[in-house]
Amino acid sequence: MIAVIAREPGGPEVLQLVQRPVPSPQPGEVLIRVAAAGVNRPDLMQRSGLPTPPGVTDVLGLEAAGIVVARGCDVDEFAVGDRVMALLNGGGYAEYCVAEAAHCLPVPVGVSLHHAAGIPEAAFTVWHHLFELGRLRSGDSVLIHGAASGVGSFAVQCAQAAGARVIATAGGPQKVAMLQALGVWRALDRHTEDFVRVVQDCTEDRGVDVVLDNVGGPYVARNLAALAMGGRHVSLSFLQGAHIELDLGLLMRKSLSLTSSSLRPKSHAEKARLAVCIRSRVLPWLASGLVSPQLHAQIPLAQAAEAHRLLEANANVGKVVLSVAH
């Protein structure tokens, strides 16, 4: 089969097509004929040389969607021919991949496999960070940074489906327009507007209940200023730096909490638990159309480098996926 690896640490140009044997599903696994694979920032970090967990394939790709073509023993929840979308430890940039059956989700009727390929990372990330760690509830307000990205736009829609009001930041008029089309309470351009002031204006100086942040660095202190009493700050990433200065006095006075997590190192059992939650809570939103993955581009697998360049330039409005021809 054809697959994509990084021949050495470096920029998008190090990605190359290779021939690999079709993997065999082990107990508890399914073999998927991949229709499309999602492209995510951890793929860029792996390509650049970030170490991967022990035993993980060098084929990139943390999510994919396609058709089950074989199953290992002890797999009862999926049959050959089923349409699935899978959270992976790697291997999605290929014509075939194996996935833990417990980390797979059925593709809802009406959702294409190309759109489905952009769902698993976002669904697992958003459910855990926004709803479990952030404890977002109906009636809450939430500030979501990077809201025009694949994960960000999914978070916006899930928050709204759950009955929360969303203030969303993005960079540039095109991205702001996309967020306005999604019906957010307030969309703002981070290049021209101060999100702390916007939050204060929208909430009459109360602040938001939750901040979902992928920026880190200097944003954190401003995020804390934008939080209401008892607010929750949840970090997804730290694109502007992992090291911050923290005013513990402010945290104590406002009873704030800061938390974060990373999806890839989580145990098999924890990912399986999250999949059960997503089946019951998020899939109905997808099936009803309340949540729909925003797809920026479908790029052929052989042009994976172009997909990486798109993400590195922050040029995508929504998700970028690699399409796989058979």
- Is 23:72 a contact under the CB 8 Å cutoff? no
Distances (CA, A) of 176 to 34, 205, 245: 33, 23, 30
**In this model, does residue 240 exceed pLDDT 70?**
no
Total residue length of the chain: 326
pLDDT tens readout for residues 28-38: 999 999 999 99
Measured in degrees and rounded to the nearest 5, phi and psi for residue 44 equal: -65, -40
Mean pLDDT of 271-283: 97
Q: Please tell me the pTM assigned to this model.
A: 0.94
Query: With bands split at pLDDT 50, 70 and 90, how would you rate the model's confidence at 71?
Result: very high
Mean pLDDT of 147-164: 96
Distance CA 19, CA 30 (A): 21
- Mean pLDDT computed over every residue of the chain: 95
Mean pLDDT of 159-183: 96
Query: With bands split at pLDDT 50, 70 and 90, how would you rate the model's confidence at 243?
Result: confident
Q: Give the percent of the chain with pLDDT over 90.
A: 88
| Domains in the chain, CATH or no CATH each | 2-119+293-323 (3.90.180.10), 123-260 (3.90.180.10)
Mean pLDDT of 246-269: 90
Sign of CA dihedral 159, 264, 30, 21: positive
